[in-house]
Amino acid sequence: MFELLYSPFQMLHYLVQAILQAIAPFLGPICFVMAWLLTILVGWSIWGAIAATVVRAKEMHQIPCAYCQFFTNDYRLKCPVRPTIALTEEAIGCPDYRFHQ
């Protein structure tokens, strides 16, 4: 009685093929722009990571504990005066810091 000329998969195949033929002239420029955008985003994220690392390193170099006369250089008790903040960012500006000559 009612026969399908094409199966649904064949119709989908023809539809996808027609869409691809319609956008084929634009695929080159689209891929070119997308490749450059991806390159720029990767470079931007690498630059951001480097900048964040430099900022973190500058913060860590402000910690004066290694040059303090109370610093023991022992992992069990780094500082007998303020052991909870020794070698942390809280030690920046420590009131008990004494330069060790």
CA 82/CA 60 separation, integer angstroms: 18
pLDDT category, 8, cuts 50, 70, 90? confident
pTM, 2 dp: 0.61
Burial class (CB in 10 A: 0-12, 13-18, 19+), 81: middle
pLDDT by residue (tens digit) across 34-79?
Answer: 999 999 999 999 999 999 999 999 999 999 988 999 999 888 888 8
